[in-house]
Structure 1
Amino acid sequence: MIELSGKPFSGQEQRFGGDTLNTALYLSRLVPGLAPSYVTALGEDTYSQHMLKAWQDEGIDTALTVQIPGKLPGMYAIELDEQGERTFHYWRGESAAKALCQQAQFSTIMATLQSYDLVYLTGISLAIFSDEDKHAFLLALESLKASGVKIAVDSNYRPRLWPNAADACEWLGKLYQLSDIALVTAEDEDAMLGMQDSPASIIATRLHSMGVKQVVVKLGSEGAMWSEKGQSGQARTNKVDHVVDTTAAGDSFNAGYLAAWSMGMTMAECCHWGNKLASRVIQHQGAIIPRDQTHYITELMSI
């Protein structure tokens, strides 16, 4: 999506972002040579071409990115308060990504993904589709899982994308049942279930009961709780004195976690690197921080 940041009708900056895109980009930076594939749909307009080029420059494989004539990318604007907390405004009713499952290339893309180790997606990936497309998408994921592909998911619950919380629970429940790894935020899970301040252990137990093997519950400034095979722990994050912008905090955590996972690290170590990257990202404005700030994390991970 196109990102506008700054005060309305004054010097707004144009960037690009989006939850899964942010994770793919940081994952590419953290594991040079990995070349993660990004599956989405764009238009053929100038903005779409600029984004494709930028993603390729970041080492992201765009061979599975579909371009649809006559469609445009979505757009969102971010307003920040003095604590760096965000308010979003979206224009994505007719975005190209919503039509991905309807494209002739969709079945070919899903067949190609059967040779991959892991597919990562979020609840937003599911929410933007029609109910018919949701069914098609979940069937495709079911085939991937049957072929041995690991599936990682972040609910990233956004109420405005769903008719109601019950509908979100139903669809995300189906997604969790296909997932091997869940990287969720406690606040999102509580909002979806109408709860408040649920213990991370309760959230983890619920997700394990759906068949998720590895569960991570992100707890903001308190770090993250991890759970697997009856074992659990908490990875605390270092205090950040000056939070500039919390955009992509969860997305970057997921990238740090999956980068460490790809290196065969334990869940505790994966959470450590997720926290490390997220704490860097929230000290900068926008979803994507300067490349040299990510290289700092990459160098530490390789030690």
Structure 2
Amino acid sequence: MASTPKFQQKKIAIIGECMIELSGQPFSTQEQNFGGDTLNTAVYLSRLVPGLAPSYVTGLGQDTYSRQMVSAWQSEGIDTSMVIEVNGKLPGMYAIEIDPQGERSFHYWRNESAARQLCQHRDFPSVVETLKAFDLVYLSGISLAILSDQDKRSLLLALEQLKQSGVRIAVDSNYRPRLWRSGSDACEWLGKLYQLSDIALVTAEDEDLLLGMKNSPAGIIAKRLHSMGVKQVVVKLGSEGAMWSLYGLNGIAAGNKVDNVVDTTAAGDSFNAGFLAAWCMGMEIDECCHWGNKLAARVIQHKGAIIPLDQTRYITELMSI
């Protein structure tokens, strides 16, 4: 496999929450796993750029579940040195219930999760100091939404300090209405997050849902984000690929034809990982979108958020040629 030395100079951290996942019928046999939007991105990024060791920043407990989650992340090549242990707290949990028609519904228990205490922890300021030496910090709207208003302000202040230190901020709104008091509340906080962001990797459907719009042209979405100060904007368009916009230039990175879509879980998360992996390798924004599309197309042909390692390795080898 050809080497790509540029990535070795990059340091990337990802801030978010990972939860315990239960899947299956209630009060019957259920499979245990774990998942989260930012964790999915961290796993795929680590796989695509061997040796990068992206850092995952979150709060976990001191329980067996937390320890096993950390061990699994380490086995994926993720740096867990900035995972903060929160006394007396546990990871959040969600259950996936599938009805006879195959439709999925989700049930969450996360109000007291350890990740929600991240910005209150005494070690958080030292984590922020460490992050000042990084090249890029990535987070999603969910990373912000799960926090109290006071902790939202603390996180935004930390991001502002990082930005002043030269760290680039990348964000995906990943808008989930149930995590916000209202749409206007979400708009206010996500607007503040966008104002600190250098790269926005958003989904057209999420942006429309956030603003109460329908079928907004990607160019209008990009223009809105540029007006907030975001330099590089990518609008994910599902099977149509992605539109990118940079310094007045824009273009479309065509999607990859997929005949058998099995599960769209983590499509956006994996796109973000492919994009950031290419960014680490010094590629231009259109190439970054190309690799984001490539990985997402492979992921949706498999069940679940994380596909088998050998399926990711194929993309890794292509990127390194």
TM-score range, shorter chain: over 0.9
After superposition, what is the alpha-carbon deviation per residue over 1:187-224, rounded to whole angstroms, capped at 9, x for unaligned? 01000100000000000000000000000001111111
> Counterpart in 2 of 1:221?
239
Aligned to 1:285: 303
SS of residue in 1 equivalent to 2:258: coil
Secondary structure of 1:246's match? coil
* Partner of residue 155, structure 2: 137
**Residue of structure 1 aligned with 2:218, choices 200, 204, 216:** 200
Q: Secondary structure at 1:38's aligned position in 2?
A: strand
Q: Corresponding residue for 1:296?
A: 314
User: Which letter does structure 2 place at the counterpart of 1:278?
Assistant: A
How much has 1:102 moved relative to structure 2? 0.7
Q: Distance in 1 between matches of 2:210 and 2:243?
A: 19
CA drift of 1:170 comes to 0.3
2:250 equivalent in structure 1: 232
Structure 2 residue 285 is matched with structure 1 residue 258: no
* Number of aligned positions between the proteins: 303
Alpha-carbon distance in 2 for matches of 1:213, 1:115: 21
1:146 CA drift (Å)? 0.3
After TM superposition, the structure 1 stretch with the greater mean CA deviation from structure 2, 8-17 or 185-194, is 8-17
Instruction: Compute the displacement of 1:84 (Å).
Output: 8.2
SS in 1 for 2:230: coil
> Hey, what's the Cα distance between the residues in 1 that align with 2:72 and 2:66?
10
- Evaluate the alpha carbon distance shift between residue 178 and residue 81 of structure 1 in structure 2; reply closer, same or farther with a 3 A threshold: farther
Give how far 1:161 is off.
0.3
Kindly state the Cα deviation for residue 275 of structure 1 after the two structures are TM-superposed: 0.7
The SS at the match of 1:260 is helix
Q: 1:16 aligns with which of 8, 20, 34?
A: 34
1:51 to 56, 69, 74: 69
Query: 1:85·1:246 contact (CA, 8 Å) conserved in 2?
Result: no
Q: Gapped runs of 5+ residues in structure 1?
A: none
**Distance in 2 between the 1:88 and 1:234 partners?**
33
Render the CA deviation track for 1:72-109: whole Å, top value 9, x for unaligned.
11112234689987533221111100000110000000
Structure 1 residues 109, 177: closer, same or farther in 2, change over 3 A?
same
> Which deviations, in whole Å up to 9, do the C-alpha atoms of 1:214-247 show, x marking residues without a partner?
0000111111111001111111212212222111
Give the structure 2 partner of residue 188 of structure 1: 206
* Residue from 191, 204, 208 that aligns with 1:173: 191
Percent sequence identity over aligned pairs: 77
Ranges in structure 2 where 5+ consecutive residues have no aligned partner: 1-18
Q: Quote the Cα distance in structure 2 between the aligned partners of 1:222 and 1:8.
A: 37
State the Cα RMSD in Å. 1.5
CA drift of 1:10 comes to 4.0
